Every structure is written in C-alpha cells, then in structure tokens.
C-alpha cells in the first residue's frame, strides 16, 4: 500500500471467471457449516517501516499518557510480529536495508518476530507497478534469477548475523500481476506468462533457504485480492500449477478497496478449503476519521467507501470494533487456517511523505491520533482483538 488513488477491481477473462466462480461456489458450499472458533490468532502485528522517518521528523507516540517507541507500545498491547519492507536501492533512510536492520533489532528487543517484505524494487511495488531495480535492468532472465537468489540470500543472512532472524519472508509485494517487470510480468500483450514469474519466485525461495543456519523462514506469497474470491483462486491456482512451494497465503484487505467483511470471510473459507494453507492478512487498516491530516486529503473521505460503515463507523471506537470483527472472522476460518493479521503503518502520522512525489494520505488509518495519542484500536493486538482478552 502507498499513497495512491482508489485501485480498480481486477476483472478475470469472462470464461475463466465463470469457471473459477463455479469452483468457488462448490468450495464455499462445502464449508457452509460454521466452524468452531480458534481460541486466539497466532500472528498479530504491524508494518512499522516508516518508524525511523517518523522519529527523524520529531514525531512521538504515547499510550495512556506515557511516551514510548512504537514497537514497545504495540508489544505491550499484545503484538508479536513486526513487518519490515526493504527496497533494493532507495534514497538512504527510506526502506533501505540498514533501516530495516535497525528496526529489526528494536522489534526483537521488544519481543516481536520479523516478517520481511521484499519488494524487489527501488520503490513501491504493488499491482500497478513492479519496477525492476535500476542496477538489475538489462539482465536476461537467467541473470535476473541468479540476482534474485543472491540478493534474497544476502539480505536474510544480514538479519541472521545480527541475531534477528526472519521468521516469515514475502517473495515480492502484492504480486498479483507478477514482479520485476517485464521479465516477471504475468499479463503481457502476448498473453499470460506464469512461468516467467514463477521462476523468479522460485529463485527468491532458494535464496531464502540458503541464508541459514537452520531450516529458514516460512515463505509467503502476497496477493492484493482479499475480498475477491475469483481473483484469489485464479492467482493461487496458477502458482500451484507452476509447482511453487510456499507456506503462507498473504492477502491485502482494505475494506475501502477490497469489499465487505462478508466477501473477505467467503474468500478465506474457500482458500482454506482449497489449498489447506494458513492465511495471513498481510495488510489491513481502517479509518478512525474521514478527515485528512497535514492538509492532505485522505484515501477514505466518504461513508460510501466503507461497505460496513453502519456497523463500523469511521470513529475511534468504530475502528476498534472493525479489528475485533476481523479477528473473529479469522479465528472462524476452517481448520485453524486463519493465522492472523498485520496492520499497515499504525504510526504513520502526518508529516512524512510516502515518497518524493507523494504525501501521506493515510494518516486517518493510524492507531494514534495526529498528536500521537493511542486510540482504542491498539487492543487489536490482543489475542482476540478485544480489550481485556
């Protein structure tokens, strides 16, 4: 996620969509019986990658009247994971490896495990852009695969050397349309190229397993299709057909882009039945206001953008109730496959831009008000997402 306009919904080719929908209906019907609720979520955390930039901007955060670092506040409320993004060669101090290593040491000291989000780009990588790093451009497919393998191995080894090993690694960020374009682009003018994308993913996985010591981190593939069952199964079906071996399904789910909680719930049940893998909501957030901070309009400015606004209004308490509902939905995924969620940049207050060209239009999605005071939704990191749990 980054500062950008509302994303369009992805449309499958008509015949493919019909067949996927039919298969999805069968799977959904198979899991229509309400499953027993898991006692608690295994993963409850946040992406905290902007933290050093926030602190350099003299932003402070407080909880119950006490100022503390972001990772400390989250851990006190029950968080057990920190997600850190890494760009290949960005401006210094903006999601570079050194910044991620610093945050990893702090997160580890606070008792948090590390999920590493490798973008394989010099800046934001998502469904709309997967730009190959400048230093890697011009490589042929074989060279690029070797570069991806070596880079992944070296980055994970750097975390291991400082005794902050990566527990989970994303091989790419929101790779629904591929990665490292044009080599790993899935949807090309000549048709769909799943093999080119899959070979790059496999190279990244090899690198992750080579970083050692030990068995290596869990491997997660990340799609931005949280509320879209057809698009989700289309992507993961093809990944399986290419014999990519991975451990976790990662989904992006923002209600204002990805639909209602009911659509997410249906997708989670289908994916759990279809693939028998644990599912992590790798990114999520919800507004506590419709206003924008720092004079910048927010990504959510209307109740119409929130499918469940009647139940979860954009207020501090409504935000807290959204996370409590999301927690419950994940604990109801069949066979305990709803493993948890990561809240995106809960401390990204006004003043730090997304990049050199884009401001912060997400400051109404934080878990702190614009003066750094903690909001009720900090309790989202408790095992059942509710106060006192």
Q: Which of 54, 199, 283, 345 is catalytic?
A: 283
Task: Give yes or no for a contact between 115 and 168, defined as CB atoms under 8 angstroms apart.
Answer: yes
Cα–Cα nearest to 100, from 59, 50, 168, 154: 50
Cα 229 → chain centroid: 17
Q: Which of 71, 174, 199, 345 is catalytic?
A: 174
DSSP per residue, 2-64: -S-PPPPPP---HHHHHHHHHHHHHHHHHT-SPPPPPSS-SEEEEE-TTHHHHHHTT---EET
Cα–Cα nearest to 208, from 277, 126, 148: 148
Cα–Cα nearest to 173, from 116, 95, 237, 133: 116
Burial of 232 (0-12, 13-18, 19+ CB in 10 A): buried
Rounded-to-integer distance, Cα 29 and Cα 265, Å:
13
Q: Is 149 a catalytic residue?
A: no
Q: Is 283 a catalytic residue?
A: yes
For the beta carbon of residue 351, count every other beta carbon within 10 angstroms.
17
The residues, any chain, with a CB within 8 Å of residue 371's CB and separated by 6 or more, are none
| Catalytic residue ranges | 174, 283
């Amino acid at each position: 996620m980054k500062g950008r306009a509302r994303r369009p919904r992805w449309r499958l080719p008509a015949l493919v969509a019909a067949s996927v929908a039919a298969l999805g209906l069968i799977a959904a019907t198979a899991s229509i019986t309400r499953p027993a609720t898991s006692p608690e979520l295994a993963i409850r955390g946040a992406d905290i990658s902007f933290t050093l930039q926030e602190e350099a901007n003299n932003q402070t955060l407080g909880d119950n009247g006490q100022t503390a670092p972001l990772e400390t506040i989250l851990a006190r409320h029950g968080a057990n994971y920190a997600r850190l993004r890494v760009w290949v060669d960005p401006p210094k101090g903006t999601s570079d490896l050194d910044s991620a290593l610093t945050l990893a040491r702090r997160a580890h000291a606070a008792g948090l495990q590390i999920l590493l989000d490798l973008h394989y780009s010099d800046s934001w990588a998502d469904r709309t852009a997967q730009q190959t790093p400048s230093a890697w451009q011009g490589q042929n497919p074989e060279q690029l695969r070797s570069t991806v393998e070596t880079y992944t191995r070296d980055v994970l080894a750097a975390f291991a050397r400082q005794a902050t090993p990566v527990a989970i690694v994303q091989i790419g960020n929101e790779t629904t349309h591929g990665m490292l374009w044009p080599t790993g682009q899935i949807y090309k003018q000549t048709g769909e190229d799943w093999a080119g994308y899959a070979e790059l993913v496999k190279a990244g996985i090899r690198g992750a397993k080579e970083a050692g010591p030990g068995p290596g981190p869990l491997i997660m593939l990340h799609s931005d299709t949280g509320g879209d069952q057809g698009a989700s199964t289309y992507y993961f079906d093809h990944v399986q057909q290419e014999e990519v071996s991975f451990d976790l399904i990662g989904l992006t789910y923002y209600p204002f882009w990805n639909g209602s909680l009911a659509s997410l719930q249906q997708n989670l049940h289908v994916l759990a039945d279809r693939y028998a893998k644990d599912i992590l909501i790798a990114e999520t957030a919800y507004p506590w206001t419709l206003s924008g901070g720092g004079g910048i309009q927010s990504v959510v400015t209307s109740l119409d953008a929130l499918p469940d606004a009647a139940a979860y209004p954009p207020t501090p308490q409504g935000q807290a109730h959204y996370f409590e509902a999301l927690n419950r939905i994940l604990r109801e995924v069949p066979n305990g496959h709803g493993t948890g969620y990561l809240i995106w940049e809960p401390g990204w207050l006004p003043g730090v831009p997304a990049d050199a060209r884009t401001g912060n239009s997400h400051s109404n999605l934080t878990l702190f008000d614009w003066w750094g005071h903690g909001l009720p939704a900090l309790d989202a990191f408790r095992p059942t997402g509710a106060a006192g749990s």
